[in-house]
Amino acid sequence: MNLTPELQMCVDLWKNEDAYNDKFHADLTKAVNRDPVLKAHRDWTEANQYGFGDRAFGWVWKMLVDQMPSEFSFLEVGVFKGQILSLVALIAQSSGKIANITGVTTLTNTPDVRCKYPPGDYLGWIHEIYKQFSVPFDHTKLVIGKSADAHVLEHLAHQTFDCVYIDGSHDYADVVADIRNYAPKVKVGGFLIMDDSSIGRINVGSCWSGLEDVARAVKDHLDNDPRFKFLFCVGHLNLFYRLKA
């Protein structure tokens, strides 16, 4: 692996221990609050109920964008109101990079066994957060449908990405399908980010650790996949690196 010094340090120092993960999470939260761009984005997201996850995750996305080449591709499976799409685009813009972003979304409040979402104008919400932070939508495209829909998979059949973020349905079978369908789309040397997946498998201290079905799917279908190497987690966010085809 050829990682940036900061990302490599996170990999080298990370420990599967409660105390370490509490401090790691707190340190990344402080880093976000010291960064005017990241802090403004997270403050607005929280104030307007535009997303979930932890404030600390903003620094993880910054480290990942720092790791990316000058032009890179990013896929989010399971877009809500555009928090992560816009954040990746914003960090890339601030870094002078071009992020070619794809989001898989139903653009509806599709529920799963664990979560329910509000009705509303999801496309409008996504455009609004981009507009709020003056991020052009030119390099973002949305693929409309459920992640396992035939037309969605066909649309993305020949595409690969430098970074794939899976945060779709939280039902076990759906998470397994997302891993099977989208993990292979990570380029060798790229990153797979799994949300909600630390419960029962990683000691994350007082941080929220995610959802049992998601963590079980990751344990069953990703942890022992020789193509991928687990790097570290921050709360319920887990990072994997693609080692080989």
Helix (H) or strand (E) holding 198: none
Give whole-number Cα distances, 105 to 6, 29, 161, 169, in Å: 32, 28, 17, 11
| Cα torsion angle, 71, 163, 169, 90, sign | negative
Placement of tokens 């949300």 in the chain: 195
Per-residue confidence (pLDDT) for residue 193, from 0 to 100: 99
Burial of 197 (0-12, 13-18, 19+ CB in 10 A): buried
Residues of the chain with pLDDT under 50: none
Angstrom distance (rounded) from CA 212 to CA 195: 12
Q: Cα dihedral angle (187, 97, 141, 174), rounded to 10 degrees?
A: 40
pLDDT digits (tens, 9 = 90+) for 174-220: 999 999 999 999 999 999 999 999 999 999 999 999 999 999 999 99
Enumerate domains of the chain plus CATH numbers.
5-242 (3.40.50.150)
Helix (H) or strand (E) holding 191: strand 186-194
Q: What phi, psi does 25 have (nearest 5°)?
A: -60, -45
Task: Write the CB contacts of 7 (distance below 8 Å, at least 6 apart in sequence).
Answer: 63, 64, 66, 67
Q: What phi, psi does 197 have (nearest 5°)?
A: -125, 25
Q: Which region, left, alpha or beta, applies to residue 185 given φ > 0 means left and ψ of -120 to 50 means alpha? A: alpha
Q: Which region, left, alpha or beta, applies to residue 125 given φ > 0 means left and ψ of -120 to 50 means alpha? A: alpha
pLDDT digits (tens, 9 = 90+) for 71-80: 999 999 999 9
Angstrom distance (rounded) from CA 90 to CA 179: 27
Placement of tokens 């949305």 in the chain: 142
Angstrom distance (rounded) from CA 174 to CA 111: 12
CA 30 centroid distance within chain? 20
What is the DSSP secondary structure assignment for residue 220, as one 8-state letter? H
The reported pTM is: 0.98
Angstrom distance (rounded) from CA 157 to CA 170: 23
Angstrom distance (rounded) from CA 27 to CA 208: 16
